[in-house]
Amino acid sequence: MADYLVFHLYGPMAAWGDVAVGEYRPSFAHPSKSAIIGLLAAALGIRRDEDAQQKSFAEACSYAVRVDAMGTLLRDYHTIQVPSSGTVRNPKTFHTRKAELADSDLNTILSSRDYRCDAVYTVAVTLRDDAPCSVKDLAEALRKPVFTLYLGRKSCPLAFPLSPLVITAESVKETMAKAHVPEELHDLIHEKPSLVYWEGEQGGYEREQVITRRDEPLSRKRWQFSERKENFATVLREEETPCTSA
């Protein structure tokens, strides 16, 4: 048995970064592990430049997600003005967007960015025994986060309470069976089967595929990620069973 932190993600727009090359910034169809770790770390108050704390927390977390509603794809043609970064010896530092735009050396960047609109996800997170916090601590942090939480990008705010619960179960499958999608989001769910992705061997589902994703955080400070194996299964919706939260 293990304790799982379960919560729901919904917003009119979300962006789950995939491998990006050049001017195209794609979004995966479900949250990356780095996005979930970042959201939880922000709730706890771990700053992005606190590399050791970020790494310790990421290594202690195991993550699963159920895609309740895939949403629709939105592609945005994006233009933005940014100042040059300066030199290696004298890099430029800007603390606000206003300060960036006040710089005399501005460049225009063109890019295409993908978003998922009206997607709904149920997330389950477990922690190792030596984790720097407990799932109960995480649940409380999601109720009263230290930093502002968002869905992948700062332009994608949450539009529904996370409703964190702590569920004790033997597997991801048992946990997800007890994880109720809030009634207010039911109108967004049109797909009959659910797509479930999980790490490790405690899924409880019949695995259909193993996917390799480059979303395991290595360094938030240097924006580095490593590859991670993710299991996948298509699951017919089952009746939800009652659950209790801690």
CB atoms within 10 A of CB 82: 15
- φ and ψ of 117, to 5 deg: -105, 135
Q: What is the pLDDT of residue 208?
A: 96
Q: Is 57 exposed, middle or buried (0-12, 13-18, 19+ CB in 10 A)?
A: buried
* Secondary structure of the chain in HEC code, one letter for each residue: CEEEEEEEEEEEEECCECCCECCEECECCCCCHHHHHHHHHHHHCCCCCCHHHHHHHHHHEEEEEEEEECCEEEEEEEEEEEECCECCCCECCCCCHHHHHHCCCEEEEEEEEEEEEEEEEEEEEEECCCCCCCHHHHHHHHHCCCCCCECCCCCCECCCCCCCEEEEECCHHHHHHHCCCCHHHHHHCCCCEEEEEECCCCCCCCCCEEEEEEEEEEECCCCEEEEEEEEEEEEECCCCCCCCCC
Predicted confidence at residue 202, as pLDDT, reads 87
Domains of the chain: 2-70+118-236 (3.30.70.2660)
| Residues 134, 3: Cα–Cα separation, whole Å | 9
CA 218 to chain centre: 16
| pLDDT block averages, 10 residues each, the chain of length 246 | 96 88 84 95 93 91 95 90 83 88 90 94 95 95 97 94 96 94 92 89 93 86 85 78 48
> Residue 89's pLDDT is what?
79
| pLDDT tens digits for range 43-84 | 999 998 898 899 899 999 999 999 999 999 999 988 888 898
Q: What region, left, alpha or beta, does residue 204 occupy, with left being phi > 0 and alpha being psi -120 to 50 degrees?
A: left
Global pTM value: 0.85
